[in-house]
A and B are shown apart, each in its own frame.
Chain A
Amino acid sequence: MAARQGRLGSQVDIPSFFIQILNSIQYGLLLFLCASGLTLVFGIMGVINLAHGSLYMIGAYLAFSLSEHLGSLWLALPVGVVLAVVFGAVLEWLLIERLYKREHLHQVLLTYGLILVFEELRSVIWGDDVHGVSMPPLLAASIALTDTLSYPVYRLWMSGVCLVLALLMAWVLLRTRLGMIIRAGSVNSEMVQSLGINIGVIHRIVFAAGVGLAAFAGMLAAPVSSVFPGMGNQVLIICFVVVVIGGIGSLKGALVGAILIGVVDTFGKVLTLEIAGVKILPELAGMSIYLLMAVILIWRPEGIFGKVRS
């Protein structure tokens, strides 16, 4: 997802190890932000949303356009999130709502169709070029760790923002009445309705929040990765790996799964550099996260925090 520091050597000294840890966490937290919407929408409404990655992409493109028009990423972020949430609510009302009682095949067909539509719209609106988004000057600095190694402030800030959002999500789900209703609705939506709660509104809120989070993840990542066609598909696949590893529908699982992927992916690449010197399986780097998924699914077929289905 995010471009990683390219200049790290293969030697594992303490500062570069530390940098890799920070990178792993940052990448993991960003993945979590994106995957959380996917897992919640699946866990609560039972919908597989293949277009989730496209919403990440839309976020990145929004960051690009809005920061050009509004002059800075600081303004682009809140405006973009509001736009994304509204877009998510409209999308749910227009299409997704119709999928709740349908089989997975219909869900996959419609949301796959949405990927194509979003990709085409992206091409019409923004063209097919690769774009960059500049960091806010305040965060553009780096913190020196040694004479030769430093860590960008923007990435630290990103991790901090993701962490705050993760805590906020946990707080809403575990401590607020809305969260109670959402959790109740995930096991028995008919009963929730019979208590006088309009479950349709709850579903719309959950979906729109998921879209907002995915788009926000794309916006955050835009300055460190770049903004390019098809960027959503890459993310979608990794998000699915996160959701499956963590256990479908589990927010805690998505967090743990995302951090695991962050670590394995980051270190997989570094270690391969080492091994590459001896020329042993350089292909392993790209496969590392799938190997992780396979191992976890053999150990726990329902994912780390998944519920055993009866």
Chain B
Amino acid sequence: MPPLIEARGIHTHYGASHVLHGIDFVLHAGETLGLMGRNGMGKTTLLKSLLGLLPLTAGSVRVKGADLTGAAPHRVARAGIAYVPEGRGIFPNLTVRENLVMAARPAAAGQASWTLDRVLFTFPRLAERMTHDGGNLSGGEQQMLTIGRALMTNPDALILDEATEGLAPLVARDIWRIIGEIRATGMATVIVDKNFSAVSSIADRAMILVKGAVVYDGSSAELREDKALHMRYLGV
């Protein structure tokens, strides 16, 4: 079986500035990948390049073997990749219910599907807020809404960019618990987060970016042990 996502030799520019320098990226079914790197090293840029949200200047992206290089973002999403962006991207003018319902897509055959009920069971806070506008939720609730909305598309992989950013520690812990639950269902996840110990303990594999290039791609457990390595690249 081909990997869920397989990208080769990705180069991405913002205008004249060359941000990604030939990145190879692979995500296998059911795998949890921690994507790490200091501020501005290109994590978000890489995710957006994979998702069709930024044009590639070179390289290729395949999803489940199908060539989606340069494809529109909706085609990547329909191939089974869901995205929880940095800054959340909820629709503030839609109610919680509408935010969830508008995204609903049936699961592929044989998959236990994420329905509105199941999402609300996972996020009881959202169930209490169904008729509120997305814009009126707290930061933690908005984050739950974005994750819940992504699950409503019944993806094979969930990409989380800074899902706990700006949240109170207690709320962040709740989000980590939920990410753990999602992981346990067998869904592949890509996690970008500032909290090194939380990411590295949940991830099977870790990938570190420095200035738009991969400097580490390997076992997350080994990275945790190798203090010198993560001090050097992550400063933690």
Binding site for B on A (CB under 8 A): 177, 180-181, 183-184, 186-188, 190-191, 193-200
Contacts and interface: CB of A to CB of B under 8 A. Distances in A.
Contacts of B93: 183-184, 186-187
B74 A183 contact: no
Interface stretch (B29-37, B59-67, B99-107): B99-107
B102 A199 contact: no
B153 interface: yes
Contact of A188 (B51, B91, B104): B91
A188 B89 contact: yes
Contacts of A197: 74, 77
Nearest to A197: B74
A90 to B, nearest CB: 21
12 contacts: A184-B99, A191-B89, A194-B53, A194-B74, A194-B77, A194-B83, A194-B85, A195-B77, A195-B102, A196-B74, A196-B78, A197-B74
A180 B98 CA distance: 6
Contacts of B89: 188, 190-191, 194
Contact of B92 (A180, A181, A187): A187
Q: Which DSSP category, helix, strand, loop or mixed, fits chain A's interface?
A: helix
Contacts of A196: 74, 77-78, 103, 105, 153
Nearest to A178: B102
A181 B98 CA distance: 9
B53 A177 contact: no
A200 B71 CA distance: 13
Interface in B85-125: 85, 89, 91-94, 98-99, 101-105
A184 B145 CA distance: 14
Contacts of B78: 196
Contacts of B150: 195
Contacts of A195: 74, 77, 82, 102-103, 149-150, 153
Which one of B51, B93, B103, B105 has the greatest number of beta carbons of chain A within 10 Å?
B103
A194 B77 CA distance: 6
B73 A193 contact: yes
B72 A183 contact: no
B91 A184 contact: yes
Contacts of A190: 53, 73, 89
A181 to B, nearest CB: 5
Contact of B102 (A180, A193, A198): A180
A191 B85 contact: yes
A133 B72 CA distance: 47
Contacts of A193: 53, 72-74, 77
A309 B94 CA distance: 19
A184 B91 CA distance: 6
Given A191-B89, A194-B85, A195-B149, A184 B77 contact: no
A205 to B, nearest CB: 15
A187 B98 CA distance: 14
Contacts of A191: 85, 89, 91
A181 B149 CA distance: 13
Interface string B48-61: 00010100000000
Interface string B143-176: 0000001100100000000000000000000000
Which 8 A-B pairs have CB atoms at the shortest separation, nearest pair first? A196-B77, A180-B102, A193-B73, A191-B89, A184-B91, A195-B103, A196-B78, A194-B83
Contacts of B105: 196
A190 B27 CA distance: 23
A180 B149 CA distance: 13
A186 B92 CA distance: 11
Nearest to A201: B74
A113 B117 CA distance: 52
B81 to A, nearest CB: 9
A187 B91 contact: yes
A7 B51 CA distance: 66
Which one of A181, A183, A187, A199 has the greatest number of beta carbons of chain B within 10 Å?
A187
A180 B83 CA distance: 19
A266 B25 CA distance: 67
Which one of B77, B102, B104, B150 has the greatest number of beta carbons of chain A within 10 Å?
B102
B60 to A, nearest CB: 20
Nearest to A198: B74
A221 to B, nearest CB: 33
A159 to B, nearest CB: 30
Contacts of A187: 91-93
A188 to B, nearest CB: 6
Which one of A181, A184, A193, A196 has the greatest number of beta carbons of chain B within 10 Å?
A196
